[in-house]
Amino acid sequence: MTTAQSRPRAAKASGATDLLTVSGLQKHFPVRRGLLQRGKDAVKAVDGLDFTVARGETLSLVGESGCGKTTTGRMLTRLIEPSAGRIDFDGQDITHLSNSRMRPLRRDIQMIFQDPYSSLNPRHTVGAIVGAPFRLQKVQTEHGVKRAVQDLLKLVGLNPEHYNRYPYEFSGGQRQRIGIARTLALRPKLIVADEPVSALDVSIQAQVINLLEDLQNELDLTYVMIAHDLSIVRHVSDRVAVMYLGKIVEIGEQAGIYTQPMHPYTVALMSAVPVPDPTKRGQRTRIRLTGDVPSPLNPPPACRFNTRCWKAKDICRTEEPPLAELAPGHRVACHFPENIASTPAAAAEPAPAPAEAK
Amino acid sequence: MSSVRIEPALTTGDLGPVSTSFLELRDLRVHFPTGDGLVKSVDGLSYRLERGKTLGIVGESGSGKSVTSLAIMGLHKNTSARLSGEIWLDGEELITASAEHVRTLRGKKMAMIFQDPLSAMHPFYTVGNQIVEAYRIHHKVTKKAARAHAIDMLARVGIPQPKSRVDDYPHQFSGGMRQRAMIAMALSCDPELLIADEPTTALDVTVQAQILDLIRDLQQEFNSAVIIITHDLGVVAELADDIMVMYAGRSAEYASAEQVFGQPEHPYTWGLLGSMPRLDRDRSERLLPIKGTPPSLINVPLGCPFSPRCNYSGLVGDHACTTDRPEFRDVGGGHRIACHLSAQQRQQVWEDEIRPNL
Ligand SMILES: Nc1ncnc2c1ncn2[C@@H]1O[C@H](COP(=O)(O)OP(=O)(O)OP(=O)(O)O)[C@@H](O)[C@H]1O
Ligand SMILES: Nc1ncnc2c1ncn2[C@@H]1O[C@H](COP(=O)(O)OP(=O)(O)OP(=O)(O)O)[C@@H](O)[C@H]1O
Ligand code: SF4
Ligand code: SF4
Ligand SMILES: [Mg+2]
Ligand SMILES: [Mg+2]
């Protein structure tokens, strides 16, 4: 995940070792309202994604709440069926694999769920929940399943005494760790982690992140992380993809995205990160997004950010900006990007126009 | 204080003097009998909060933050939980009050944004109907007016196209949209006490900033008291006047936000601040979690509950850390901590070891 040596940069450049290749991926949810079934309306939750993830790499998906991150994750793990596009995993097209053909792959592709409450069966003990993958997939364990489960519980910072307890007896963060322990049980190749640490206190966050990092180095795991906490994203990611309303608007190496965000939405996002320093309260310049919050039911034409973008011009409403490579490995979909290399003066101080002190 | 105590029955009679604070907890204990033993989720917690002020509560996952809030809201009544101590809200004691009476206080006198949006929302009713119902309990208005209010609240928390989405069911919302719908529900009656339990964990930073503004507005307009519980130290730094750090069902440190971030005095707080990744610092190779695992709440360590994980217990003579429970005491200017270290020792550790590494 992070240490410089462990990064599969070189391998990635050759393109030969991509574990995951996604092209044109879409998910449209048909909507029906009232008695009149207007069959043609659809929530365009994910509307055409292209990206790759190299073996051993961590790609993070960030973006506005409701922009389609979880839906993307659920398609990658094939919990829901894509409406269009293609997903290749480990050299195999898995886009529409049947359940029975998907089964052997389930072990390799695991998801840590965003909502630790609804994803744990309330009638099963923690031991049964974390042990289930061993039993279902008939994995051999050296000292029996119970011991393996207790080791996993310790690994994620839970107490082995929790083995016989039920999910309702746990706090939010503890449940999240139960979910993580269950995911790790099978040693998958790809983990889609949807907000894996947001329910945890910062010390356990650090523990879990270090754990995920160690497992990645040991087992060559590949992660697709979904997270809102941008300081954590910076720490864990090799690359970051910023999504807005079902599309990727910017994707690139972590350092490039953080030091030179080019898409205005990314710039706004970075400016809103709360700083853990009360003495800086009110000194920060936050870009407030005004204008209509668009809906994925009928997204704005051309650039989807145009209803809220302070740089929008006519062309933004008529011509969709392509996701173009504006710096090596750094692609951006914007007609008037910020911080581009040709204007290094602007790079130092982003966030112009509607910024107000806050 | 001895760590073995006889469980007091539910307190009736002999209450202390009527509290003059808007909210005051006195020696609150919430214990759950389980098959493995008594879980001491909250074990002697006291604090005060005045109108117009914001208290931030941070701390370990599983340290009793949510359980405390549920106690204030009267939601342990008629469960197996054993409560003792006193909870004073605007001159009324709530532990001895009847469940029916406390129910009438919910909504207007006090409201809570729950950590778990799904449990607070009913899956079979539309989001709009749930807000309408909550609003009409305290406001004698027509259904139509209540619906208009619901749409207005959804718009204020940033739900796109609130007029049509008001009729969606919770499962049709993304994680962050559900959280915002719940915030809309909690704020719909302008509560005098708002408890926000992880209100923004599922939200991207721009929406988060918007929600924090909304909470500030509520506070300014209605002079409400706010308790914000979060693992995001950036959020408490933005919002809180005072901060309480909890560990193992107790308060470890209590001070103004400036003091907690600028001159923290408790070893657990030092550990917390040291383990978070920060965007306003260089990216570190590895995060530094607090060593060891969170304590069992059934067999809470003797003496200081943090002692098995504390790097500084050796500085305290007579092994006091493992035998005597440190008193929660004022160390100057209302800054309170539960730790045996002397002022000089704390000062030295802070200057030599902690501050340089933050
Ligand atoms: N089953 C469904 N039916 C209809 N719409 C859906 C369904 N599931 C998701 N959506 C919609 O798809 C969009 C994307 O949702 P998704 O859960 O992927 O967002 P997200 O990026 O994960 O957001 P968050 O950060 O809030 O979790 C939202 O507008 C959501 O309302
Ligand atoms: N009904 C219950 N029965 C037994 N134990 C419980 C019950 N509810 C909570 N607990 C325990 O009480 C402790 C405190 O839980 P609480 O939900 O207050 O934690 P928290 O501080 O809110 O943590 P988080 O930050 O993870 O949400 C936890 O250790 C939990 O396991
Ligand atoms: S294309 Fe235009 S509207 Fe879209 S982000 Fe760029 S400047 Fe803003
Ligand atoms: S009382 Fe002792 S063990 Fe507890 S925090 Fe202070 S020094 Fe550490
Ligand atoms: Mg999501
Ligand atoms: Mg909680």
Per-residue tens of pLDDT for chain B, all 358 residues: 444 444 444 444 578 899 999 999 999 999 999 888 899 999 999 999 999 999 999 998 889 999 999 999 999 999 999 999 999 999 999 999 999 999 999 999 999 998 877 677 888 899 999 999 889 888 899 999 999 999 999 998 888 889 988 999 988 888 788 888 989 999 999 999 999 999 988 788 988 988 898 899 889 989 999 999 999 999 999 999 999 999 999 999 999 999 999 999 999 999 999 999 988 888 888 899 898 877 888 888 889 999 999 999 999 988 999 999 999 999 999 999 999 999 999 999 999 999 998 8
Instruction: Count CB-CB contacts under 10 A for residue B285.
Output: 9
Give the separation between CA A136 and CA B138, rounded to whole angstroms.
51
Taking a 5 Å cut-off on Cβ, the residues next to ion ligand 5 are A 70, 114; B 175
Assess if residue B171 is contained within a domain. Answer: yes
Residue A5 pLDDT class (50, 70, 90 cuts): very low
Q: Is the CB of A300 under 6 A from ligand 3?
A: no
Asked whether residue B143 is assigned to any structural domain, the reply reads yes
The CA distance from B8 to B85, in Å, is 9
Length of chain A: 358
- Picking from B287, B80, B11, B230, the residue whose alpha carbon sits closest to that of residue A231 is B287
Q: Tell me the H-state helices in chain A.
A: 9-14, 69-76, 99-106, 126-136, 144-155, 172-184, 202-219, 230-236, 254-259, 264-271, 314-318, 344-348
* pLDDT on residue A156: 80
Strand partners of residue A242? A62, A250
Determine if residue A195 is left, alpha or beta; phi over 0 gives left, psi from -120 to 50 gives alpha, anything else beta. left
Please give the C-alpha separations between residue A241 and each of A49, A192, B14, in angstroms, as whole numbers.
Answer: 10, 14, 60
B292: nearest CA in chain A? A157
Structure token digits, residue A163: 């083995």
pLDDT recorded at residue A222: 96
Total number of residues shown for chain B: 358
Could you tell me what percent of chain A has a pLDDT over 70? 87
pLDDT above 90 coverage of chain A, percent: 49
Domain of B143, in residue numbers: 117-190
Q: Can you tell me the distance from the alpha carbon of B232 to that of B112, in angstroms, rounded to the nearest whole number?
A: 18
| Nearest residue to B284 via CA among A1, A252, A275 | A1
pLDDT at residue B178 in the model: 86
Q: Which residues contact B9 (CB under 8 A, 6 or more apart)?
A: B84
The Cα angle at residue B113 between residues B110 and B118, in degrees rounded to 5:
135
Residue A3 contacts B where some CB pair is shorter than 8 Å: yes
3-class secondary-structure state, position A132: helix
Distance CA B175, CA A73 (A): 13
The values of phi and psi at residue A132, to 5°, are -55, -45
pLDDT band for position A341 (50/70/90)? low
Q: Does residue A354 line the site of ligand 1, with CB under 6 A?
A: no
The domain tally of chain B equals 1
Report which secondary-structure segment, H or E, holds A123: none
Contact A235, A209 (CB under 8 A): yes
Task: List the beta bridge partners of residue B43.
Answer: B29
User: Does the beta carbon of B286 lie under 8 angstroms from any beta carbon of chain A?
Assistant: yes
Instruction: Let me know if residue B247 belongs to a domain.
Output: no
Determine which of A201, A243, A285 to mutate to test the interface with B (most B C-beta atoms within 10 Å): A201
* Residue in A173, A277, A295 closest to B161 by CB: A295
Taking an 8 Å cut-off on Cβ atoms, the answer to whether A228 and B261 are in contact is no
Q: Smallest Cα–Cα separation from B185: which of B226, B133, B140?
A: B133
A222-226 sheet: strands from edge to edge: A109-112, A190-194, A222-226, A58-63, A239-244, A247-253, A330-332, A324-327
Mutate to test the interface with A, among B206, B210, B216, B285 (most CBs of A within 10 A): B206
Whether residue B134 lies inside any domain: the answer is: yes
Cβ-nearest to B61 among A169, A173, A292? A173
Q: Does B127 reside within a domain?
A: yes
Give me the residue from B167, B283, B288 closest to A234, CB to CB.
B283
Q: What are the φ/ψ torsions at residue A298 (nearest 5 degrees)?
A: -140, 85
Can you give the C-alpha Rg of chain A in angstroms? 21
- A239-242 long-range contacts (CB < 8 A, ≥24 apart) are A239/A57, A239/A58, A239/A59, A239/A60, A239/A329, A240/A59, A240/A60, A240/A62, A241/A51, A241/A59, A241/A60, A241/A61, A241/A62, A242/A62, A242/A63, A242/A266, A242/A269
Asked whether residue B132 is assigned to any structural domain, the reply reads yes
Instruction: Please tell me the predicted confidence (pLDDT) of residue A356.
Output: 43
pTM for the model stands at 0.87
Residue B175 lies in a domain: yes
Q: Are the beta carbons of B151 and B182 closer than 8 angstroms?
A: no
Q: A207-264 pLDDT, tens per residue?
A: 889 888 988 888 889 999 999 999 999 999 999 999 999 999 999 999 999 999 999 9
pLDDT given for residue A263 in this prediction: 98
Distance B254 CA to ligand 1 centre (A): 39
**Residue B26, in any domain of the structure:** no
How many other CB atoms are found less than 10 A from the CB of residue B124? Answer: 7
Residues in chain A with CB shorter than 8 Å from the CB of B205 are 228, 230, 269, 272-274
Nearest to A230 among B118, B198, B205 (CB): B205
Instruction: Collect all residues of chain A within an 8 Å Cβ-Cβ radius of residue B204.
Output: 62-65, 228, 269
| Structure token pair of residue A69 | 């991150």
**Which single residue is written with the structure tokens 């005597």?**
B324
Quick one: closest CA in B to A293, which residue? B160
> Does B279 sit within 8 Å of A234, measured CB to CB?
yes
| C-alpha count within 13 angstroms, C-beta hemisphere, residue A178 | 33
Question: Which 3 state secondary structure label does DSSP give A245?
Answer: coil
Q: Which one of A65, A119, A177 makes the best mutation probe of the B interface by having the most chain B beta carbons within 10 Å?
A: A65
